[in-house]
Chain A
Amino acid sequence: MNPDESTPVVRLRAGDEEAFEVLVSRYYGSLLRFAMSFVSERATAEEVVQETWLGVIRGLSSFEGRSSLKTWIFRILANRAKTRGKREARSIPFSSLRDPQSESDYEPAVDPSRFDARGMWAEPPQPWINVAPEELLQRREIVDVIQRAIVELPLSQRAVVTLHDVEDVEPEEICNVLEISETNQRVLLHRGRSRLRRALEQQLTKK
């Protein structure tokens, strides 16, 4: 367990309200974003987040610290979201998470027509605006493009990219939270990131 996370657990168990409020504010945005990989409606996602907090409150006494507190909370959310999906008879394509090959057999990182017969670039990537990510994110339209591109990812890719790149969760823990194999995790991360690069290409190519 993270040393900075063990103390909050102790405080939470002791009924420290301030620690609880800190926890809720700290993870709200992350949980909402992750919930959106299971349910598309924002209102439903908010409810899932609410249910997650109840699960956290009830489960705190049995939290063993084998994963980080954050991962543990993400796992509670994933379970709630899946149950909810079943109850509402929504088709959550998480069954396809188990087998990314079935999602669509061939999903190239780059449009194959951009390569020649030998697989060398025929239409190579053009330079992007040479600005650090921090500065790019100051621009509203860039943030919008990324957010929209994430929303448009297939749900399984969205869940993996969100956990891996946005939330910085370890790959083994992602497999654990989403109940997928390590290979699937890698494939989904690769496909998701490649789609995001394609989405950003137009926006960021120097004109």
Chain B
Amino acid sequence: MLSCKELTELATDYLEENLPWHERLRIQVHLWMCRHCGRYVDQMRTVIGLLRRLPTEPVPPRLVGTTLPQFRETLVKKA
């Protein structure tokens, strides 16, 4: 049987669906029997969920201000 330690190393490939079906099956069987690993995989899902929703910084107005003239010069003139 797949060990818990091995499972933690396969967690990302499992979640990204990078594994062949038989490997996937081994993991699913293990997860079915081992609640600790179930919890581990859920925690990895939480990590991914948090990363996907991280807030981004708003753009400081001065940055738009300094890039816009360049844009004008290169593209607006040509247009």
Contact = CB atoms under 8 A, between A and B. Distances in A.
Interface of A: 12-15, 17, 20-21, 24-25, 28-30, 32-33, 46, 49-50, 53-54, 57-58, 60, 108-110, 112, 115, 118-121, 124-125, 127-128, 132-134, 136-137, 142-143, 146-147, 161, 165-166, 168, 171, 186, 189-190, 193-194, 196-197, 200-201, 204
Given A50-B66, A53-B67, A193-B12, A165 B51 contact: yes
Given A17-B72, A20-B68, A28-B58, A200 B8 contact: no
Interface of B: 3-6, 8-9, 11-13, 16, 18, 34, 36-37, 39-40, 43-44, 46-59, 63-64, 66-68, 70-72, 74-79
Given A33-B56, A133-B50, A197 B64 contact: no
Nearest to A29: B56
A121 B68 contact: no
A127 B38 CA distance: 11
B59 A24 contact: yes
27 contacts: A13-B79, A14-B79, A15-B77, A25-B59, A29-B56, A32-B57, A33-B57, A50-B63, A53-B67, A109-B9, A112-B5, A120-B5, A121-B37, A124-B4, A124-B39, A125-B36, A128-B43, A136-B50, A142-B50, A143-B55, A165-B51, A186-B18, A190-B9, A193-B47, A197-B43, A197-B44, A200-B43
Given A25-B58, A128-B43, A57 B75 contact: yes
A24 B54 contact: no
Contacts, number: 153
Give the secondary structure class of A's interface. helix
A15 B79 CA distance: 6
A190 B44 CA distance: 10
A50 B39 CA distance: 43
